[in-house]
């Protein structure tokens, strides 16, 4: 029995300048005196959507919503006339759409990928991807590239041909058209299958964070990051009826008084009996501002009618609770468009409640990242000055630095940041910005190491998308954490870690507080696995201690001892391994 989140929309292709202005205005209007500012974008920013992605590339992310998405719709060296074939053509495949999609992808990757890639290699790799459909397909590289299938051959190009995306997209399309005349498995494949196999093949020539997503996965990811229009419920089919499984806090369903366990008898008067989850979701979907009437059965009460107004729904990413002594605990699970507003809202409430905020535990453990700009905005809320992050890319003028705008919404209270091996991407930007600026002490294990900028190709004709690495992030102290992660000030990853002994040694100055810049200089001649092993010796990465009480105990103790915190939170970051 599956579940689905209602109100998801396949429309909308990602953030743009207008969205950024609206979100900044929303924050500034809600919190007078706080100004949201951003530096100059890269020269390629009009075409690149700079996002971070979860470190689960090359795997289809679980659908967060039930979606409706529709598929939309030669000049290489080749035989003058393809051989005749009796294979029945699958009309779902469209040559023009394929050429258009390949041109869009090759043009962007060729111009913007972090390291230059020859179009010939990308095209050959794309054709090799078709081996998943046709095992007898061979791509032969000699002075050019040839393709053979079951004894028939096709010469794709000769060595020395120029890198022109228009030429190469046409050649790739022509090669696929030829393969379809001699291969039954390929000719039976629909348009999406061809796209998936070819683009997956191309991605093998790029890094591990570059990936193709089909229209359904693409729409689900957009909904997660940018929200979707709906009522904010998760449903499941049970006993021939539709049951509300979960309610999103603050969404129309929650405001309308609906509860998990309520049974939806009808939607706008139409019975849900024997409806599938997908069909029920279709009835409940609609544009923001429109209404939907639900007939609800709750326990033994008589059925009643609830009218809801659909709205933009965002998955909650921020939770807050009070610890003792005026210490707040804030957990951020990801960065979507509303995360900065949620953080500001919680900080403002905490500052105005009785006693005010005296210290903050910022829990980023297991946070896989999300939107880059929202991660930068969140870091800006805790800093009064300093660099937040810098980016480098191949684009002209591709070095960019983002600085704090000068308003610390936490009023300078001590902060302890918790990280682990599941902390990645925008969450690492936040942790490193607070650590390098001496604003927070970072506790936990080494983070994931997702320090690359992803650009998004979102205008493919099938509404799928390609994410590829177009840059690298640098922390305020000018090091790249890509592949290597953020090293905490206090490493708790060792199973023998003892809170009491560690705190005593820290107070006595007996911890090996090696400055991070000096530590990184010692590793500057190393790279790859050699460097990873060296960092493992300093602080391993771990995701198994996420609920371990030791890290919270250390955080509480640090925030309760202001002198110890001030001595530990310094711009010259340092790493403590264990008492000596």
With CA atoms as reference, report the closest residue to 347 among 384, 320, 323. 320
Show the beta-strand stretches assigned E in 60-192: 137-141, 144-149, 152-158
Catalytic entry in 450, 452, 455, 470: 450
Distance (Å, whole) CA 376 – CA 41? 13
Whether residue 435 contacts residue 423, with contact meaning beta carbons closer than 8 Å, is answered with no
With CA atoms as reference, report the closest residue to 196 among 132, 139, 120, 290. 132
22 CB-side CA count, 13 A:
8
Cα angle value 366/372/376 (rounded, 5°): 95
Catalytic residue at 450? yes
User: Strand, coil or helix: what is 415?
Assistant: strand
Distance (Å, whole) CA 377 – CA 482? 21
Give, rounded to a whole angstrom, the gap between the first and last alpha carbons of the chain: 55
Tallying the residues shown for the chain, one arrives at 580
User: Strand, coil or helix: what is 162?
Assistant: coil
Tell me, rounded to whole angstroms, the distance of Cα 76 from its chain centroid: 37
Catalytic residue at 436? yes
DSSP state of 142: S
Whether residue 44 contacts residue 395, with contact meaning beta carbons closer than 8 Å, is answered with yes
Distance (Å, whole) CA 120 – CA 172? 10
- Judging by DSSP bridges, how do beta strands 452-457 and 400-403 pair with one another? unpaired
With CA atoms as reference, report the closest residue to 168 among 109, 112, 99. 99
Distance (Å, whole) CA 108 – CA 317? 32
The strand pairing partners of 90, in sequence order, are none
CA dihedral 362, 318, 390, 385 (to 10 degrees): -60
Distance (Å, whole) CA 22 – CA 41? 17
Distance (Å, whole) CA 470 – CA 464? 19
Catalytic entry in 390, 436, 452, 482: 436
User: Strand, coil or helix: what is 316?
Assistant: coil
CA dihedral 204, 206, 209, 211 (to 10 degrees): -60
Spatial neighbors of 460 by CB under 8 A, at least 6 apart, are: 101, 104, 105, 195, 466
User: Strand, coil or helix: what is 94?
Assistant: coil
The strand pairing partners of 374, in sequence order, are none
Report which secondary-structure segment, H or E, holds 307.
strand 304-309
Cα angle value 335/339/340 (rounded, 5°): 115
DSSP state of 579: B
Q: Catalytic residue numbers?
A: 425, 436, 450
């Amino acid at each position: 029995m599956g579940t689905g989140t209602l109100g998801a929309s396949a429309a909308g292709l990602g953030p743009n300048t207008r969205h950024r202005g609206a979100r900044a205005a929303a924050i500034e209007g809600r919190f007078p005196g706080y100004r949201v500012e951003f530096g100059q974008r890269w020269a390629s920013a009009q075409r690149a959507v700079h996002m971070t992605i979860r470190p689960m590339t090359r795997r289809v992310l679980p659908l967060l919503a039930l979606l409706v998405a529709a598929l939309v719709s030669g000049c290489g060296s080749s035989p003058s006339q393809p051989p005749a074939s009796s294979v029945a053509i699958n009309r779902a495949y469209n040559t023009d759409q394929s050429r258009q999609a390949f041109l869009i992808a090759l043009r962007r990757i060729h111009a913007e990928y972090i390291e230059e890639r020859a179009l010939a290699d990308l095209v050959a790799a794309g054709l090799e991807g078709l081996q998943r459909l046709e095992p007898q397909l061979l791509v032969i590289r000699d002075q050019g590239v040839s393709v053979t299938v079951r004894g028939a051959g096709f010469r794709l190009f000769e060595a020395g041909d120029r890198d022109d995306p228009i030429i190469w997209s046409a050649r790739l399309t022509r090669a696929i058209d030829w393969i379809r005349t001699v291969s039954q498995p390929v000719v039976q494949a629909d348009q999406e299958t061809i796209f998936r196999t070819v683009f997956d093949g191309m991605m093998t020539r790029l890094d591990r964070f570059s990936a193709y997503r089909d229209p359904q996965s693409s729409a689900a990811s957009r909904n997660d990051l940018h929200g979707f229009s709906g009522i904010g419920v998760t449903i499941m089919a049970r006993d021939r009826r539709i049951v509300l499984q979960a309610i999103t806090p603050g969404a129309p369903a929650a405001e309308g008084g609906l509860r998990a366990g309520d049974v939806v008898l009808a939607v706008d008067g139409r019975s849900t009996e024997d409806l599938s989850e997908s069909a029920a979701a279709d009835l409940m979907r609609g544009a923001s501002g429109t209404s939907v009437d639900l007939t609800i059965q709750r326990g033994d009460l008589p059925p009643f009618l609830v009218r809801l107004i659909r709205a933009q729904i965002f998955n909650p990413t921020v939770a807050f609770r009070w610890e003792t002594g005026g210490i707040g605990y804030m957990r951020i699970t990801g960065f979507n468009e509303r995360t900065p507003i949620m953080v500001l809202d919680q900080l403002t409430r905490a500052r105005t409640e009785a006693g005010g905020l005296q210290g903050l535990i910022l829990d980023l453990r297991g946070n896989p990242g999300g939107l880059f700009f929202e991660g930068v905005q969140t870091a800006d809320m805790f800093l009064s000055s300093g660099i937040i992050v810098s980016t480098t890319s191949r684009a002209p003028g591709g070095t960019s630095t983002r600085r704090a705008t000068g308003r610390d919404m936490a009023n300078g209270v001590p902060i302890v940041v918790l990280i682990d091996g599941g902390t990645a991407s925008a969450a690492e930007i936040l942790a490193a910005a607070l650590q390098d600026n001496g604003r927070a002490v970072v506790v936990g294990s080494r983070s994931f190491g997702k320090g690359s900028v992803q650009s998004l190709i979102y205008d493919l004709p099938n509404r799928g998308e390609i994410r590829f690495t177009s840059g690298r992030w640098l922390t305020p102290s000018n090091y790249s954490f890509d592949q290597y992660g953020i090293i905490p000030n206090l490493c708790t990853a060792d199973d023998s870690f003892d809170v009491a002994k560690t705190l005593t040694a820290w107070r006595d100055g007996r911890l090996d507080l090696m400055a991070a810049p000096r530590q990184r200089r010692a590793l500057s001649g190393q790279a790859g696995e050699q460097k990873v092993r060296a960092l493992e010796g300093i602080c391993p990465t771990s995701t198994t201690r996420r609920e371990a009480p030791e890290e919270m105990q250390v955080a509480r103790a640090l925030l309760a001892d202001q002198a110890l915190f001030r001595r530990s939170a310094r711009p010259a970051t340092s790493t403590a391994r264990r008492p000596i």
